[in-house]
Amino acid sequence: MAMSDTTPALKGHDVIQSYLRTLDGSPGVYRMLDDQSRVLYVGKARNLKARVSNYARPSGHSSRIARMISETASMMFLTTRTETEALLLEQNLIKQLKPRYNVLLRDDKSFPNILVAKDHPYPQIRKHRGRKAAKGAYYGPFASAGAVNRTLNQLQKVFLLRNCSDSMFESRTRPCLLYQIKRCSGPCVGYISEEDYAASVKDAERFLSGKSTDVQEKLAQQMMDASEAMEFERAAALRDRIRAMTQVQTAQGINPRTVPEADVIALHQEGGQACVQVFFIRANQNWGNRDFYPRTGAGADASEILEAFLGQFYDDKDPPRQIILSDEIENADLMAAALTERRGRKVELVVPQRGEKAELVAGALRNARESLARRMSESAAQTKLLGGLAEAFELDGPPARIEVYDNSHIQGTDAVGAMIVAGPEGFVKSQYRKFNIRGDELTPGDDFGMMKEVLSRRFKRLLKEDPDREGGTWPDLLLIDGGAGQVSAVAEILGDLGVEDVPFIGVAKGVDRDAGKEEFYRPGARPMALRHNDPVLYFIQRLRDEAHRFAIGTHRAKRSKSVSRTPLDDIPGVGATRKRALLAHFGSAKAVSRANLADLKAVDGVSEAMAQTIYDFFHEAG
Q: What is the pTM of this model?
A: 0.71
Q: What is the pLDDT of residues 287-329, one digit of tens each?
A: 889 999 998 877 788 999 999 999 999 988 889 999 999 999 9
pLDDT tens profile 587-604: 777 888 888 888 888 888
Rg for the chain (alpha carbons), in Å?
A: 31
Q: 402-465+473-562: what CATH class?
A: alpha beta
pLDDT of residue 621: 41
Which pLDDT tens digit goes with each residue over 454-463?
A: 899 999 999 9
Instruction: Name the segment(s) of the chain with CATH classification 3.40.1440.10.
Output: 13-101
User: What is the distance between the alpha carbons of residues 192 and 466, in angstroms, rounded to a whole number?
Assistant: 61
State pLDDT tens for residues 457-510. 999 999 988 888 877 889 999 999 888 888 998 999 899 888 888 999 999 876
Q: The domain 261-373: what is its CATH number?
A: 3.30.420
Judged against a pLDDT cut of 90, whether residue 70 lies above it is answered with: yes
Share of the chain above pLDDT 90, in %: 38
Q: What is the pLDDT at residue 447?
A: 74
In this predicted structure, what is the pLDDT of residue 7? 41
pLDDT digits (tens, 9 = 90+) for 378-420: 888 999 999 999 999 999 999 999 999 988 754 445 678 889 9
- Per DSSP, the three-state class of 40 is strand
Q: Are 532 and 514 in contact (CB under 8 A)?
A: no
pLDDT in the model for residue 6: 41
- Which residues, other chains included, contact 616 with Cβ-Cβ below 8 Å and sequence gap of 6+? none
- Measured CA to CA, the distance from residue 393 to residue 504 in angstroms comes to 10
Q: What number is the average pLDDT over the span 602-617?
A: 86
Average pLDDT, the chain: 85
Residue 322 CA to residue 263 CA, distance in Å, equals 7
Return the higher-pLDDT residue of 340 and 619.
Answer: 340
Q: Which of 8, 86, 103 is nearest to 45 (CA)?
A: 86
| 130 or 42, greater pLDDT | 42
Among the ranges given (4-8, 367-371, 416-420), the one the predictor scored with the smallest mean pLDDT? 4-8
Q: Dihedrals φ, ψ of 518, to 5°?
A: -60, 145
- SS3 at position 434: strand
| pLDDT classification of 622: cutoffs 50, 70, 90 | very low
Distance CA 598, CA 222 (A): 59
In the chain, which segments carry CATH 1.10.150.20?
567-618
Lowest mean per-residue pLDDT among 37-41, 125-129, 153-157, 563-567: 563-567
Q: Is beta strand 74-79 parallel, antiparallel or unpaired with respect to 28-33?
A: antiparallel
Q: What is the pLDDT of residue 512?
A: 55
CATH for 567-618 (3.40.50.10800, 1.10.150.20, 1.10.1740.10, 1.10.286.10)? 1.10.150.20
pLDDT tens digits for range 224-263: 887 778 877 767 766 776 776 666 555 455 567 788 899 9
Question: What local confidence, expressed as pLDDT, does residue 212 receive?
Answer: 60
pLDDT at position 244 is 65
The residues, any chain, with a CB within 8 Å of residue 331's CB and separated by 6 or more, are: 87, 307
Predicted local confidence at residue 255, as pLDDT: 64
Tally of CB atoms within 10 A around 267: 22
Write the CB contacts of 33 (distance below 8 Å, at least 6 apart in sequence): 39, 40, 72, 73, 74, 75, 76
Q: How much is the pLDDT for 133?
A: 81
Q: Is the pLDDT of residue 13 over 50?
A: yes
The better pLDDT of the pair 567, 66 is held by 66
The DSSP letter of residue 284 is T
CA distance 194 to 201: 10
For 17-46, what is the mean pLDDT? Answer: 93
Do 86 and 29 meet the contact criterion of CB atoms below 8 Å apart?
Answer: yes
| Gap between the Cα atoms of 268 and 372, Å rounded | 8
Fold of 13-101: GIY-YIG endonuclease (3.40.1440)
